[in-house]
A and B are shown apart, each in its own frame.
Chain A
Amino acid sequence: MSNSADRWTGAFFLLFGLAMFFLVIPVYVEDAQGGNLSPRTMPNVIAWVIAVCGGFLVIKPTTHQAPDGRFFAQVAAYVAVLGAAIYAMSLVGFIYVAPVLALVIMLMIGERRPLWLGIGVVLMPAAIWFLVTQLLERGLPG
């Protein structure tokens, strides 16, 4: 059985831990004088734990098998839509983006029935708008 997934993630975490210790933490964690525990102590310890465990995983992987590339491509498509929706919300607000986002998501899943599309695209965003802005008197994203 293939165990290359664990070797790859193990190698990643080995490099990630080392990169954190040698490159990231020295630059992005300010050192402070005095005190009982330096701001860098715990991140450094954890970086080494990650690196060492990553190394162990390369040497002794499990038999776990990762999903195929198609799965990741589909997830990436959904993430791209959600990311675009967040950006669009920052420009025009939730109230205009939410129905479009719901429609795109439902079409991607494969929903074609007008009734359910209507519920998802019109009714649910309207219900959320009513709940948040009218009942709770809070603002919607964007």
Chain B
Amino acid sequence: MVDFSIILAGFGDVFTPINLLFVVFGVMLGQFVGAVPGIGPVMAMAIAIPFTFGLDPLPAIAFLVGVNKGGLVGGAVPAILMNTPGTPDAAATALDGYPLAQQGKPLKATKMALFSSITGDTFSDIVLITVSAPLAILALRMGPVEIVALMIFAFSIISGLMGESLIKGVIAAALGLMFAFVGTDPEHFTPRLIFGYWDLFDGLALPSVAIGMLAISEILRRMSASFGTSGQGLLAPDSGNPDDRRVSWAEYWSCRYTLLRGATIGTILGALPGIGSTAAAFMSYAMTKAGSKDPDSFGKGNLHGIAATESANSAVVGSNLIPLLTLGIPGSVTAALIISAFMIHGMQPGPLLFQTQGRLVYGLFGAMIMANFVNLWVGQAGLRLWVKVVSAPESVIFSSALLLCFVGVSMATNGLFGVTIMLIFAVFGVLMHSFGYSMVIFIIAFFLGPQFEKSLAQAIALLNGNILHIYTSPVAVALLVLSVASVFWFLSRRTNTVADQTNLGVPDGETLDQKDP
């Protein structure tokens, strides 16, 4: 047990001017890069880590945490204003955020995203600070068998998001898994489906695939829609009504259960390695919609939709650090970057971290709470600025976004090969959208694929070569039963009419123009 004086000293460390300055700088940078499609907090963190070499550990880690938290808030801005998610996490936010912006309420939508994000993030941070050790012990008890069952459960929940056709959703997920198999086999380390291109030996780079499918394909569709027209602003004009520029306390309070549900989902999924904020956002959205008395209003500018997704995806950030700090296991790409920053500064994440570096850990917790306040403060000013920036002609926005995506992916993948892959997947994304296949399901499956296969191989070994022996794990059986139940539950609620009207799970533009692209 960490001494109380160490906890207080750790929290006190945050309030030194230099540490506060780096928190503010990190959040500002995060919001900026998160708002630019094609860069995002992951890339910003990857670029920023070398610049923290010369810093003390606390300001360095606090800066990176600030970038990450700011990035999640910033990622919602282009999703809402341009229907172009700055980060994959924000794709679900576009489902209701963009229609609201089109109704002349861009500030209301972005502010709701900001408040929801900070609510979920703060909830998650409090959970991290108070119950990180017990949750880590629970996560530690989940072996490969349970992780396989957990991933099957995640896929079954995602099936509830499969828009107009379950079959198309399964095809999208299967394609995502198939592309995830490109590269090295996780067990035998033999090359698979690389077709002689040794650049593919490590697999298809996630930034190339995600940015190509989510950002470039959206830009291509939007550019084609405005082909040969005069450059005009991307935003529908502001309605002029002051109520449409703010989120009232009554509106925020009416979303309290949605926020709590989203924060809880994000916190739980964030604590479990492998399931990131994108899955949390869509799961929260699906559950909120399924439990709503007015499900038809989702996808048309419902504040609950924004609250559900933003609270969930931001709640992942804090709880992502639970397995990282207590077990040394990164739960996501972001956590993997933070773990590398920890090691650069001589810290070894794991069970002993709280004892050996207790003051630093609680300093980090304090920095996370401070970052939330800074996020709110910077966000209030930054969101207004971004609403104006995105009001520039789409010709400037699209050409600039394309150049930034080229540069960002090139830096993330070390060359133009990654940019070429990005363009290929952009074309693939356009085709998937045009023929009604969900790109986000594809991306989630693509991201989970390698871990799923690896855990499956380990599970088979643990079950003596017979996967049917899975009944020996009660947790896995419970998760599988839940998986079957959730599939039937979603199918029972699905009618063709409802699915066609909402196109749930088909993000970034498809909700609006899929029937008449």
**What is the bound-complex CA distance between A49 and B175, given in angstroms?**
10
A37, B231: Cβ atoms under 8 Å?
no
B187, A106: Cβ atoms under 8 Å?
no
Least CB separation from A142: chain B residue:
B416
The answer, yes or no, to whether B2 is at the interface (CB within 8 Å) is: no
The answer, yes or no, to whether A92 is at the interface (CB within 8 Å) is: no
Most buried by A among B392, B407, B427, B461: B407
Give the contacting residue for A67; candidates B230, B395, B457, B517; CB below 8 A.
B517
Given the interface contacts A43-B193, A78-B220, does A106 sit within 8 Å of B231 by beta carbon? yes
Return chain A residues, CB-CB under 8 Å to B5.
Answer: none
B193, A29: Cβ atoms under 8 Å?
yes
Contact with A along B185-204 (1 / 0, CB 8 A): 10110111111000000000
Chain B residues packing against A (C-beta within 8 Å): 47, 164-165, 167-168, 170-171, 174-175, 177-178, 181, 185, 187-188, 190-195, 220-221, 223-224, 226-231, 392-396, 398-400, 402-404, 406-407, 410-411, 415-416, 419-420, 423, 426-427, 430, 434-437, 453, 456-458, 460-461, 465, 496, 500, 514-515, 517
**What is the bound-complex CA distance between A83 and B422, given in angstroms?**
11
B435, A66: Cβ atoms under 8 Å?
yes
Give the contacting residue for B400; candidates A5, A42, A89, A102; CB below 8 A.
A102
**What is the bound-complex CA distance between A62 and B494, given in angstroms?**
14
Given the interface contacts A29-B193, A37-B187, does A64 sit within 8 Å of B435 by beta carbon? yes
A111, B231: Cβ atoms under 8 Å?
yes
Give the contacting residue for B231; candidates A30, A62, A116; CB below 8 A.
A116
**What is the bound-complex CA distance between A118 and B410, given in angstroms?**
25
For the complex of A and B, list the 8 residue pairs with the smallest distance between their C-beta atoms, beginning with the closest. A111-B395, A141-B410, A39-B185, A32-B188, A111-B231, A74-B224, A37-B457, A64-B436
Return chain A residues, CB-CB under 8 Å to B187.
Answer: 32, 35-37, 39
The answer, yes or no, to whether A57 is at the interface (CB within 8 Å) is: yes
The answer, yes or no, to whether A24 is at the interface (CB within 8 Å) is: yes
Say whether chain B's binding surface is mostly helix, strand, loop, or mixed: helix
Return chain B residues, CB-CB under 8 Å to A49.
Answer: 170-171, 174
B419, A141: Cβ atoms under 8 Å?
yes
Return chain B residues, CB-CB under 8 Å to A128.
Answer: 403-404, 407
Say whether chain A's binding surface is mostly helix, strand, loop, or mixed: helix
Return chain B residues, CB-CB under 8 Å to A57.
Answer: 165, 167-168, 171
Query: In angstroms, how far is the closest chain A Cβ from the Cβ of B420?
Result: 6
**What is the bound-complex CA distance between A54 and B175, given in angstroms?**
12
Least CB separation from B453: chain A residue:
A42
Most buried by A among B224, B426, B457, B500: B224
A141, B453: Cβ atoms under 8 Å?
no
Given the interface contacts A111-B231, A116-B393, A124-B403, does A71 sit within 8 Å of B174 by beta carbon? no
A62, B436: Cβ atoms under 8 Å?
yes
Chain A residues packing against B (C-beta within 8 Å): 5-6, 9, 13, 20, 24-25, 28-30, 32, 35-37, 39, 42-43, 46-47, 49-50, 53-54, 56-57, 60, 62-67, 71-72, 74-75, 77-79, 82-83, 85-86, 89-90, 94, 98, 101-102, 105-106, 108-113, 116, 119-120, 124-125, 128, 132, 136, 138-142
Least CB separation from B400: chain A residue:
A124
B430, A75: Cβ atoms under 8 Å?
yes
Least CB separation from B460: chain A residue:
A36
Return chain A residues, CB-CB under 8 Å to B394.
Answer: 109
**What is the bound-complex CA distance between A83 and B406, given in angstroms?**
11
**What is the bound-complex CA distance between A43 and B437, given in angstroms?**
20
Return chain B residues, CB-CB under 8 Å to A138.
Answer: 47, 411
Query: In angstroms, how far is the closest chain B Cβ from the Cβ of A123?
Result: 9
Most buried by B among A32, A47, A78, A85: A78
**What is the bound-complex CA distance between A35 and B515, given in angstroms?**
48
Return chain A residues, CB-CB under 8 Å to B415.
Answer: 141
Least CB separation from A76: chain B residue:
B427
**What is the bound-complex CA distance between A5 and B398, given in angstroms?**
29
Give the contacting residue for A43; candidates B164, B171, B192, B393; CB below 8 A.
B192
B224, A75: Cβ atoms under 8 Å?
yes
Give the contacting residue for A94; candidates B191, B227, B230, B406; CB below 8 A.
B406
**What is the bound-complex CA distance between A120 and B195, given in angstroms?**
38
**What is the bound-complex CA distance between A9 and B435, given in angstroms?**
8
B47, A106: Cβ atoms under 8 Å?
no
16 sample A-B contacts, Cβ–Cβ < 8 Å, listed by A number: A5-B435, A50-B171, A56-B167, A57-B167, A57-B168, A63-B500, A79-B423, A86-B406, A94-B406, A94-B410, A102-B399, A102-B402, A105-B402, A108-B223, A132-B411, A141-B406
